[in-house]
Amino acid sequence: MVDSRFHGLTTREFTNVPRAVEFIDLSYIGLIGTAPDADETNWPLNEPVLITGQSSLPEGLGLSGTIPDALDAIWDQANATIVVVRVEEVLDEGELDVTATMWNILGNRLQLTGAHALRKSESMFSIVPRILIASGFTAVRPTDGVASVTISAGGSGYDRENPPAITTTGGSGAGFSARAVVSVAGVVTAIIIENPGAGYSEAPTIAIAAPEDGDTATATATLGTVANPVGKELEAIAGPMRAMVVVDGPNTTNAAAVLARQDYGTDRVMIVDPWCKIAKDGAIVTDPPSARLAGLQVRVDQQRGFWHSPSNKQVLGILGTARPISHGWSDPNTDAEYLNDNEVSTIIRDRSSGGFLFWGNRTTSGDSVTAFWSVRRTSDVIVESVELACRAFVDEPFSIDLLKNIGETASAGLRRLVARGATIGSRVWLDPAYNTPESFLIGEVYVSYDAEPAAPAEHIIFHYHRNTGYYTELARNAARELERLAL
């Protein structure tokens, strides 16, 4: 800024002050499905369509496919905002070919089709879907996916930090993806399957990219029963989007639901089983529960706050569950307890007040610190909201005011969460071990903060004690009353 000769008054405005933290909205649903009779103009394939409530539903959706039923299930619970991606439905002799349609649901990461089309939503609508569902396409565990990959030769000369690409050829299936693990010595030691794919008539040929200088590793695939490819793809998408995924259970037995849960291991996935009974076209049919949980969570967000669990809340618009689920408030030997104990959520009959309750708090994370669905969502709000609030400070010159403003921005937002009951405490500090003259010199500042989301009170334990001493008080009161009557 250069001073110049001037005769008069000049005002310069400065905005180097703390910013208000605006908390991100977790209530946007991302739905991928089919609607074969939909109008191509209003409902283009593999393109996000924004619906900001029931009244804004674009014309021409039709009644067939999975999208109309899923929308109805969501709106039974709340008037939610939904980003819908429609994919092509595949038929086999007039019947839905679930496996073939799954490939369209999976889509392509590079072409942003199928589930990956949801990633366009932010640039198109300034909305990031935070609850992802593919109603009816996450339940089946295929028997013809890549169950394992055995390394026959580890090769040599691979870069541990940049492991080689894994590709497949042949077998007629689709959906498989994996990554290699390379040792310090440059040898491929394991192949981790990220998505097992499905529909393989025979085991595909595994190809491991050759190193720049060394021997190429080789491996062999084996087919078997595998995780649902759509569920696994949504699981992979959810992390970068800071979203949650609701997976429909297999809707067969409790044991099968628990087995399906073992296919996942992240705090961004919740499995719900069994399916729901609903009335449709004059008949009682079963319907996937994922859309109803998504809508229920939106209702809880709207009425109670994003830090509240959907568990123990009414599921509306259903007639029951596809198979009976026993439950007792103090009985550990029930279907609901077995499922919940194995990180599978369910729906129970509310015998006291009527209706049906969603029952379950836990994700598929094996870590007790990250087990709760509501805690993961609250952490997402904390992290992303603080980041967004501090964008204005990026590239500002270092100063005491800059560091104070960053710290106070984060601190003020965290205090608001404590006041609302979303967290139980927080603090912000600058760690001198990280914030050195050298780090400042290269433009880096480290702001440390902590917070603790409020976990749901999943287990309330009463200690009931017998006290025969109350009989003494009873006798004393009775004697006093008799004396009064005798007067």
Domains (range + CATH), the chain = 29-139+229-370 (3.40.50.11780), 145-224 (no CATH)
pLDDT at 301 > cutoff 60: yes
Burial class (CB in 10 A: 0-12, 13-18, 19+), 255: exposed
CA R_g for the chain: 28
The pLDDT value given to residue 3: 62
The pLDDT value given to residue 244: 98
Hey, is 368 helix, strand or coil? helix
Torsions phi, psi of 428, nearest 5? -130, 140
The pLDDT value given to residue 99: 83
The rounded distance, in Å, linking the Cα atoms of 251 and 249 is 6
Q: Taking a C-beta distance cutoff of 8 angstroms, is the pair 63, 37 a contact?
A: yes
Hey, is 349 helix, strand or coil? strand
Hey, is 337 helix, strand or coil? helix
pLDDT band at residue 10, thresholds of 50, 70 and 90? Answer: low
The rounded distance, in Å, linking the Cα atoms of 101 and 138 is 12
Amino acid identity of residue 431, one-letter, is: D
The pLDDT value given to residue 165: 95
164: left (phi over 0), alpha (psi -120 to 50) or beta: beta
pLDDT at 98 > cutoff 90: no
Buried b (16+ CB within 10 A) or exposed e, 134-161: bbbbbbbbbebbbbebebeebbebbeee
Q: What percent of the chain has pLDDT over 90?
A: 87
The rounded distance, in Å, linking the Cα atoms of 155 and 210 is 9
Nearest to 29 by CA among 76, 84, 66: 84
pLDDT at 1 > cutoff 60: no
Buried b (16+ CB within 10 A) or exposed e, 39-63: eeeebebbebbbbeeeeebeeebee
Mean pLDDT of 388-405: 92
Q: Taking a C-beta distance cutoff of 8 angstroms, is the pair 48, 85 a contact?
A: yes
Nearest to 446 by CA among 469, 420, 428: 428
pLDDT at 69 > cutoff 90: yes
315's CB contacts (< 8 A; 6+ apart) are: 77, 276, 292, 296, 347, 355, 356, 357, 358
Q: Of residues 466 and 15, which shows the higher confidence score?
A: 466
The pLDDT value given to residue 426: 93
Total number of residues shown for the chain: 487
Most confident of 21-25, 186-190, 390-394: 186-190
The pLDDT value given to residue 205: 96
The pLDDT value given to residue 306: 95
Mean pLDDT of 49-69: 95
372 - beta bridge partners? 362
Q: Taking a C-beta distance cutoff of 8 angstroms, is the pair 342, 261 a contact?
A: yes
The rounded distance, in Å, linking the Cα atoms of 189 and 102 is 31
- Pairing label, strands 205-208, 91-92: unpaired
The pLDDT value given to residue 14: 67
pLDDT at 2 > cutoff 60: no
321's CB contacts (< 8 A; 6+ apart) are: 274, 275, 276, 277, 346, 347, 356
Mean pLDDT of 299-326: 96
Q: Tokens 């794919």 label which residue? A: 197
Q: Taking a C-beta distance cutoff of 8 angstroms, is the pair 6, 397 a contact?
A: no
The average confidence (pLDDT) of the chain is 93
The rounded distance, in Å, linking the Cα atoms of 46 and 118 is 9
The pLDDT value given to residue 19: 74
Q: Taking a C-beta distance cutoff of 8 angstroms, is the pair 292, 77 a contact?
A: yes
pLDDT at 152 > cutoff 90: yes
pLDDT at 485 > cutoff 70: yes
Q: Taking a C-beta distance cutoff of 8 angstroms, is the pair 145, 195 a contact?
A: no
- Pairing label, strands 131-133, 29-34: parallel
The DSSP line for 146-196 is EEEEEEEE--S---SSSPPPEEEE-SS-EEEEEEEEE-TTS-EEEEEEEEE
Q: Would you say the pTM of this structure is higher than 0.75?
A: yes
